[in-house]
Structure formats: C-alpha cells, structure tokens
Amino acid sequence: MNWQSVKNRFRPSISLKIILVITGMLVTLGSAAAVYVKTEFSEKLTNELLKRGVSVAKQLAENGSNAMVTEDRLALSRLAKASKDIEDDIVYSFFVTAADKHVLAHSFGEFFPIELLDTIPDLYSDAVNTRKLLTSGVVVYDITVPVISSQVGWVRLGISGNSVTMAVDNLIRQVLTVGSIILLTAIICSIPLARAISKPIRQLTGAVESITRGEQIREVRVSTKDEIGQLAAAFNEMTKSLTAAEESLAAQIRFLEDLLADIPEPVFYKAMDGKLLGCNHAFESFFEVNARELIGQSSYSYRPKHEAEIHVARDRDVLTENKKVSYEMRIERTNDTLRDVIFHKAPIRDERGEVNGLIGVVQDITEEREASRLKSEFVTTAAHEFQTPLASILGFSELILNNPEIVGDQLSELLQMIFSKASSLSHLVDEMLNLSRIESGHGIALNKSDCEINEELTKFIANFKLLYSDFNFQLNLPEETVVLSADKERMGQVIDNLLQNAVKYSEPGQTISITTRTSETHCNVSVEDHGIGMSAEQLAHATEKFYRGDTSDTAPRGTGLGLFIAKSIVEAHGGILEIESTPGKGTVVTFRIPFKQPETELHAPKKNIQISHIEH
C-alpha cells in the first residue's frame, strides 16, 4: 500500500476538519492565556515582592544606622533576627561594613554562608541593588541597601520568591482547568454544527460531479439562510445561467465595441489577411468613411494606392513577425487638407498566445509638426533680424574707426544710426527674454504704479510722427484723465507693438487712429489702421508665438512674437485683447484693462483672446 492510497483512504471529512480546527484554536488560545498569565502576573507579583523587600531593607538600614556607626554587633544582630519575624518570606538579612566588607551581624545563627559575600561583589554602592539567586533550589531575591551612605556600610536582605511561584502556578492551574472544561464543551457542541455544515456541502459536491459527468442539471435544496444556504442558492442561480452564457458573452463584446467607439483617437483592427474587421467613430470621422462599408475591405479600398502599399507592408510586419510597429506619413483627406500622422500597430493574440490579427491607433501630429516648423522658421527669421542691425552697427563703427576725419554733424549722424540699430537689437533681446519667461511658466513680471494712459499715448504718437512722418496719426482721447494701476514700461511695449504693426501693414499716407474709451470698470484702447488686413485663417493664428501671416521674402520683417507678448502683458494686467480685421480694409486691435486688478504681480498667459472676422 503506497502513501497516496493511504492518504486517499484516511482523508478527513469536513466535519472532522471543523472539530480539529475548533480544538486547535481553543488549545492555542488556552496556551496563550497560560503563557500570558505566567509572564504578566509573574512580573507584577515579582515587582510587588521586590518593593516590599526594599522597604524592609531600608527600614533595617534606618533602624541600624547608629549601631553601624558604633559597630554595635548585638543591636544589629537583634535587628537582623527580628526582620525575619516581620515577614514570613524573608530568608536572611545581615549588615556589612564599608571598610573591609566584613559582616557585623546576621540572621543565620551560628554559621554565616560565606558564599553570599562572593555572589554579588560589585553591588556595594550608594544605590539600591537587587539580584536573583538560586539557593538550595529556591529562588531568592537579594537586596542591597546602603546604611546612611556607602562610606558606613550596607544591609543585605534575602526574600523568597516561592510565594510568587506558588501564586502563578495556582493561577495557571485554574486557567488550564477552565480551559479544559471549555474545550470539552466546545468539542461536544461542534459535532452537530460540523454535520450541519458538511451536509449541504456534500450535496453541492454531488451536484457539481453530476454536471461534470454531463448528467442532467439538478438543483440543490436550500434549507437555511446562512452562508451555506446562500452558497446553495448561488449554485442554483448559476445552473440557471449556464444556458444564457453565450448571450452574456455577446453583450460584453458589444460593450467593448461601444467603449472602443468612444475613444477620441482613431482606432481600427484587422484580420490576419489585412482586411478591416472594425473601427471606432473617430476613425470614420478622421478618414471620412463609413465603417459598415469598409468591413472586410483592404486598405486599397479607402486609401490611395501609394499609401495603401505602405500600410499593407507594415501590416505584414506586425502579423508575420509578431512585433509592434510605428511609422509616420503625411496623408491627404477628401477636403484636400494634408495631415501629419503616426500609425501605431500591435498584434492581437488569442488565448494560446498566437497572433490572430492586429490593432492600430492613428495619432494626428499635425499641430506638433506645425509648431516645430514655426519654431524653425522663427530661428531663421530671428537670425536675420539680428544680422541686419549687427551688420549696420559693424559697418558704421568700422567707417568711424577707419576715418578719423569724420567729425561733427557727420559723426553724430553715424552714431545716431548705431544707436538706432542697437535699440532694435535690444528690442529683439527683450522679446526673447519675455518669451522665455512666459514659456517657463513665470509669467510677466509687473512693476505697477499710477499710469496716466492719455499722457503715455500722446508721447508715443509724438515719437511716431517724427519717425514715420509720411503717415497720418490721429489721437482720440476723452477729456477726463484716465489713470490705471499698470506697469508703464510693459504698457509701452503693448502700445509700441500695436503702432509698429499698424505702420508695417499700411501704406504711406494712410491714417492710423488711436482711441481711448472708458466704462465704469475698464479702459479700452484701440489702434485702427486701413492697411492690408488679415484673412480668417491669419486672424485665427495672429496671437500665436512665432506666427507670421506672410513668410515670403518680400513680407514685412518681424519675429512673430509681438502680438503674443502684447497679449500676455495685457492678460497680466487682468485684461483681454480683441482683434477685428477685414482683408483689404484694415485691422482694429483693442485691449481692455480693468481699473481694479488682482493683487498678484506675476501672471502667466491665459487663453481669453477674442477675435472676430468681418466679411464685406
């Protein structure tokens, strides 16, 4: 008979297991209680015993202090013997001199056990010391207390620990007795409980074995409402649900399809032959196709041939080589717009881990590529913008250095040109620093003070009339004084940028108007020109960083940062920027600054630009 057959033959039933578990738990609990009693109560009783022994020893030290000083052996001997009569568990007491550790008196009778002096050689000090000794099989706690001080001597007292041992042993016997009674009662009571639990489980086991053998499904009778009864009821419900399993699975598949359909990124999945099995709504919208018409079709049915060939080749890599692929391409949509996209494809595996199709996601990166293009374009433009004034500064400086005869008005004129070009460079550097600060999240730093806006506008118009005398500048200001809490330098940047743009995109002889209007809460400043205006597409991107509506070689110079920084400054003051433009008619740019602004001095740019396009 092998071990496996022995295990099968003597396999314990559930009833026996329940009884054994209950017995084991109670035995463990009783053992833990006994250990707890032995440790916890033994420690407490021992501490009480030591307190009593120290108290007696201190009393002996106090009573025998004079006798110790005079070395009155008779008085000390009476004290030592009397101490044993005070407490039944005091085993001994004796007095030791400080000079030579000599015993003056003790309670042992004629013979003193000299080994007590060797037992604790280092305990003689000014402190109370205790040690646990084992003498003749009895636990004795030896207590040493100084008499007056360690310069006079000590009293040694031994107190028996038998009382603690007996009390603890007695308590443990009581605990074990009660525990045994509880254990026996629990075993007797657990037998019918175990049978009541195991009976429905045996019924459930028989029913499951019947299903496994393919026999007719039968319900288990439910006679209780406890956990076992609930298990039997759940089993009955399970048997009823088996016939509806296929329907439930189909519902889950529909749920997953609905979930996939709501993902915002275009998603699709294909069979092993590369034909489309399905896609979500985002895929239909992006490629402007009908999914029902595409099911079972290849890429050639909805994409141009040159593009479909790339998709088919990449599908083959996924399906045959069992690997993920990603590739970027530019596709043309039905409305003739081009989009830069990345196709991410990965294999779909069955329960055996074998590839049975692929799933793909289309990522539209057109905006990212456009941003990258604009940044590259900005670098080129900025380099040109820096090179032009630098070349002028270098040229004029070289001319002055190589021609000492240049003096007077001619020298002043050349220095004025150098100063003008250096100012242009400084303006470009300021734009770069402002952009860096905005993009790093630090926002625009403001140094606010009272700013009389009409006075500032008057100064700017006077300067622009000198610089651009071939333009007509018209200033429309209210009669009352308009004072804002604003950063004068930053507001000057905004006004200068708007006027520079008006001049840049207007023809000489045209009128450029600046108008100030106020309401109860805001001050509105508008700059209007009658230049070339902007199209709807240009208007939509006008305040984006690096954006330039015309990037041709003949386009007006600029970095594409002016309106972006102007908008950021206005928003830092709690205001908004509005642009209205009509192609061939001109542009009106208005910024609104509230009279009451937030307390914070650092502001990050917000997206509250308001743009309207007027068609005639």
Residue 254 has pLDDT above 90, yes or no: no
The reported pLDDT for the residue numbered 368 is 83
pLDDT digits (tens, 9 = 90+) for 408-428: 877 777 777 777 667 666 666
What token pair was written down for 476?
């429309």
Residue 445's DSSP bridge partners are 602
The yes-or-no verdict on residue 442 having pLDDT over 60 is: no
Could you tell me the pLDDT band of residue 562, with boundaries at 50, 70 and 90? confident
* CATH for the stretch 15-169: 3.30.450.20
Q: What angle do CA 91, 96, 100 make, to 5 degrees?
A: 145
Average pLDDT over residues 430-452: 68
Question: What is the DSSP-derived secondary structure letter of residue 557?
Answer: P
For position 313, what pLDDT does the model report? 92
pLDDT band at 327 (very low <50, low <70, confident <90, very high): very high
Mean pLDDT of all residues in the chain? 77
* In the chain, where the domains are located: 15-169, 262-364, 369-438, 441-613
pLDDT for residue 84 = 78
* Predicted local confidence at residue 546, as pLDDT: 62
Question: How many angstroms separate the most distant Cα atoms in the chain?
Answer: 138
Long-range contact set of residues 416-422: C-beta below 8 Å, sequence gap at least 24: 417/392, 418/392, 418/393, 421/389, 421/390, 421/392, 421/393, 421/396, 422/389, 422/393
Could you give the count of Cα atoms lying within 13 Å of 1 in the half-sphere of its Cβ? 6
Across the range 210-229, mean pLDDT stands at 66
Third-level CATH fold of 441-613: Heat Shock Protein 90 (3.30.565)
Least-confidence region, from 187-201, 465-479, 510-524, 576-590: 187-201
3-state secondary structure of 292: helix
Q: Do domains 262-364 and 369-438 have the same CATH topology?
A: no
- Give the residue with greater pLDDT, 521 vs 615: 521
Share of the chain above pLDDT 90, in %: 7
CATH of domain 262-364: 3.30.450.20
pLDDT of residue 245: 61
159-171 pLDDT, tens digit per residue, is 888 887 887 788 7
Q: How far from 208 is each of 133, 215, 350, 492, CA to CA, in Å?
A: 68, 10, 29, 87
Q: Tell me what the mean pLDDT of segment 330-334 comes to.
A: 82
182: helix, strand or coil: helix
CA distance 70 to 187: 72
- Residue range 446-467, pLDDT digits in tens: 778 888 888 888 888 888 888 7
Q: What are 228's two structure tokens?
A: 């076992």
Q: 511-518 and 522-529 as β-strands: parallel, antiparallel, unpaired?
A: antiparallel
CA gap 395, 390 in Å, rounded: 8
pLDDT number for residue 441: 57
CATH code matching the domain that covers 369-438, chosen among 1.10.3720.10, 2.60.120.10, 1.10.287.130, 3.40.50.720: 1.10.287.130
- Mean pLDDT across the stretch 65-89? 83
Vertex 239 angle, CA 238 and 242, to 5°? 85
The least confident of 29-38, 83-92, 223-232, 514-523 is: 223-232
Average pLDDT over residues 553-573: 70
Beta bridge partners of 530: none
The answer to which of 69-78, 175-184, 191-200, 258-267 has the lowest mean pLDDT is 191-200
Round to whole Å and give the CA distance between 590 and 580: 9
CA separation for the pair 510, 584 (Å, rounded): 13
Given a cut of 80, whether residue 568 has pLDDT beyond it is: yes
Average pLDDT over every residue of 576-591: 89
In this model, does residue 610 exceed pLDDT 50?
no
Over residues 257-267, the mean pLDDT reads 79
Token pair for residue 192?
């019918």
Query: Per-residue confidence at 559, pLDDT binned at 50, 70, 90?
Result: low
pLDDT category of residue 615 using cuts at 50, 70 and 90: very low
d(CA 375, CA 383): 12
CA distance 505 to 563: 14
| Packing angle, helices 227-241 and 162-212, rounded to 10 | 20
Please say if the pLDDT value at position 109 is more than 60.
yes
Q: How far apart are CA 542 and CA 322, in angstroms?
A: 47
Tell me: pLDDT of 325 over 90: yes
* Choice between 580 and 557, residue whose per-residue pLDDT is larger: 580
The dihedral region occupied by 451, where left means phi > 0, alpha psi between -120 and 50, and beta the remainder, is beta
Angle between helices 488-504 and 453-467 (to 10 degrees): 40
Query: DSSP secondary-structure letter at 556?
Result: P
Of 546 and 127, the structure prediction assigns the larger pLDDT to 127
Please, which pLDDT band fits residue 67 given cuts at 50, 70 and 90? confident
- Comparing 442 with 452, the larger pLDDT belongs to 452
What are the tens digits of pLDDT across the range 3-22? 555 455 556 666 667 777 77
pLDDT of 553 higher than 60: no
| 315 confidence band (pLDDT: 50, 70, 90) | very high
